[in-house]
Amino acid sequence: MEKVFSRWPSQVQPFTLIEAVSPAGGFPQSMLASQGARSERLRNLWTAVLLPASAAVATGLLIANSSGIEKPLAVLAALAVMAAVTYTMGLRRALARSNARYDAIFERAGISMWLEDWSAAAREVSSLLKSGVHDMESHFATRPDELRALCAKVMIKDVNAFTVQETGAPGKEAFIGSLDHLIPPTDQTFVQWLVAFARGDRFFRSEAHITTPDGSEVDALFTAALPSDLDGFENILVTSLDITGYKSEQAKLLAADAAIARASRISTVGALSASIAHEVNSPLAAVLANAQAALRWLQRGTPDIDEATEAVSAIVSDATGAKDIVARTRAFLTNAPIAMAPFDVVAAAREANLLVERELRNCGAVVNLQAELELPAVKGDVIQIQQVFTNLLLNAAQAMAGQAGAKVITLSFKADGQSIQVEIADTGPGIDRKQLERVFDPFYTTRPDGIGMGLAICRNCIDAQAGNIWATSGPNHGATIHFTLPMHDD
C-alpha cells in the first residue's frame, strides 16, 4: 500500500468505524445500514408515502361529505391542504439534505473544526468603534482585566470528532464552554481577533497556543472566515491545525543555526585576533627597537642627536601604523556607513516580538503594546532596530523569570518633537541605582550566564541611528529602557 507523508503528521489513530470491515461483503461498517439507518428509512417512508396518503384520504373524505355549493369550497380546501403538505415535504427533504451535508463536512473532516460564538466580542468592538476607539490593541493593552473578561464571553458551542480524537479528550464536553479556560494568560493572539473585527477583515489566520483538556499546551494554526454582520458572529466556524511538532522542529533548526553562527563568530574572532596580533606585532617590535636605539644614541658620551631624532621619527611612524590597524579593525567591527531608510518602528517591534515569542512564553512573559495613532515613520536601519527590540524584550523576560506574580512587558511609542520615543518597561526586580551607569558597558552583566554584550550592542545600534538610549528603574517597579529615533523628513 502506498504511504502518504505530511508536513504535520497527525498522531490521531484512524477512525474505528473505518477500521471495522464487514465480513459479509468487505465494506466498511460505516457504509452498511445500522439501526439508526433503518429508523431514518422509516422516517423517510412516512414523509414520502404515509403523509401524502393520509392527506389524500383526508381530502377524499372532505369532498365526499360535502354537497352542493360546499363541494367546490371543499375541493379548494383539499387542494390547499395537498399544496401545504407537498411544500412541507420539500422543506423537510431540503433540511435533511442540508443537515447531512453539514454532518459530512463538520464531523467527517480530517481537520479539527470548532463552532464558536463571538457575538459578545463583536458587539464590544462595535461599541468601542462607535465611541471613537479604533486601536483595539492599545485600548486593551491598558485594560488586561477587561480583555480577559471579554475572552470569557466567547463560547465554544461544538467541536468535531477529529478534535476529540486528536487531543485525546474524553468527549466534546471537555471543550464546550468559555474560550477562556483553553487560552493561557500568556497568549497574545486573542486581541488580534478583535483587531481583525475592527478592521472588517473577511478572513482571520493566526498561530496561537492553547491548553488542552489534559493540561498540556499545544501550538495551533487557527483560521476562520469572518461574517459581514453582527448576527453572523454567533456561529463562526474555526479550523485548527496542530503545529506543535512543526514548531518544535523549527526551534531545533533555529537552535542549530544559532550554534553554527556562534561557532562561525568564534572562528572569525579567533582568525581576527590572530590577524591583529600578526599585524600589530611588527610595528610594535619596530617601535621597541627604535626606542632602544634612540636611548643608546642619547646615552653616548657625546649624544648623537641626529640619530636619536631619526629613531624617534621612526617610532612615531610605526606607532601611527599600529593606530591605523586598530582603526581599520574597529571600522570592521562597528557600524560602517549604514543604509538609512524610513520604516514603521511599531511594525518593527511587532516583528521582533514574533521572533522571540517562544522564548518570552517560556519565561511566562506577556507583551502589551501601546502606540499613538498614525505615528510618523522613523529613519534608520530597520534590521538594527529589530535587533535592539529582540535584545530588550529578552532581557526584560529573563529579568522577570522565576518571580511570582504577573510578568508584563509594556512597549510604548510616542512622538516627541523631532523624534519617536520608545519605552520598554518590565515588572521585574529593577536595576540597582549603582548599576544604572554601567549597564551599557561591554561585558558588564549581573547574570551568571550572561556575557554583558546585549545592552552594549543596543547602544551601538542606537548611536548609529543618531538616537539616544538610557535606563531608569524604580524600587519594586521594574526597569525601563528608553531610546529615541529621529523622525523621517518627507
pTM for the predicted model, two decimal places: 0.53
Fold of domain 341-486 = Heat Shock Protein 90 (3.30.565)
Of 435, 461, 464, 441, nearest to 453 (Cα)?
A: 441
Q: Measured between alpha carbons, how far is 351 from 354 in angstroms, rounded to an integer?
A: 5
Per-residue pLDDT at 475 exceeds 70? no
What per-residue confidence (pLDDT) applies to 6?
34
List pLDDT tens digits, range 308-330: 898 888 888 778 767 766 665 56
Per-residue pLDDT at 338 exceeds 90? no
Cβ(380)–Cβ(337) below 8 Å: no
Strand residue runs (E) in 284-407 = 341-343, 366-371, 378-380
What per-residue confidence (pLDDT) applies to 253?
84
Q: Measured between alpha carbons, how far is 376 from 414 in angstroms, rounded to an integer?
A: 9
What per-residue confidence (pLDDT) applies to 23?
42
> What top-level class would CATH report for the domain 248-333?
mainly alpha
> What top-level class would CATH report for the domain 112-242?
alpha beta
Give CA separation, 374 vs 134, 142, 413, 465, 467, in Å.
11, 19, 11, 22, 21
What per-residue confidence (pLDDT) applies to 129?
92
List pLDDT tens digits, range 350-366: 888 877 777 788 888 89
Per-residue pLDDT at 3 exceeds 80? no
What per-residue confidence (pLDDT) applies to 461?
81
List pLDDT tens digits, range 211-238: 777 777 788 888 999 988 888 999 999 9
- Cβ of 157: how many Cβ atoms within 10 Å? 14
What per-residue confidence (pLDDT) applies to 59?
55
List pLDDT tens digits, range 184-204: 777 778 888 999 999 889 999
List pLDDT tens digits, range 4-30: 333 333 344 443 333 333 344 433 333
Cβ(424)–Cβ(480) below 8 Å: yes
- Which range is least confidently modeled, 26-30, 366-370, 387-391, 463-467? 26-30
Cβ(324)–Cβ(453) below 8 Å: no
Best mean pLDDT range from 36-40, 144-148, 275-279: 144-148
Q: Give the residue extent of every domain in the chain.
A: 33-106, 112-242, 248-333, 341-486
What per-residue confidence (pLDDT) applies to 334?
57
List pLDDT tens digits, range 57-102: 555 555 555 555 555 655 566 666 667 767 777 777 777 777 667 6
- Residue 260 phi, psi (nearest 5): -65, -45
What per-residue confidence (pLDDT) applies to 149?
92
Cell (9 digits) for 291: 626606542
What per-residue confidence (pLDDT) applies to 119?
93
What per-residue confidence (pLDDT) applies to 161?
87
Query: 245 or 423: whose pLDDT is higher?
Result: 423
List pLDDT tens digits, range 288-305: 888 888 898 888 888 888
Q: Residue holding cell 491545525? A: 241
31 DSSP 8-state letter: G
Q: Measured between alpha carbons, how far is 419 from 397 in angstroms, rounded to an integer?
A: 27
Q: Measured between alpha carbons, how far is 143 from 425 in angstroms, rounded to an integer?
A: 16
Q: Measured between alpha carbons, how far is 317 from 325 in angstroms, rounded to an integer?
A: 13
What per-residue confidence (pLDDT) applies to 411?
93
Q: Measured between alpha carbons, how far is 297 from 90 in angstroms, rounded to an integer?
A: 120
What per-residue confidence (pLDDT) applies to 400?
86
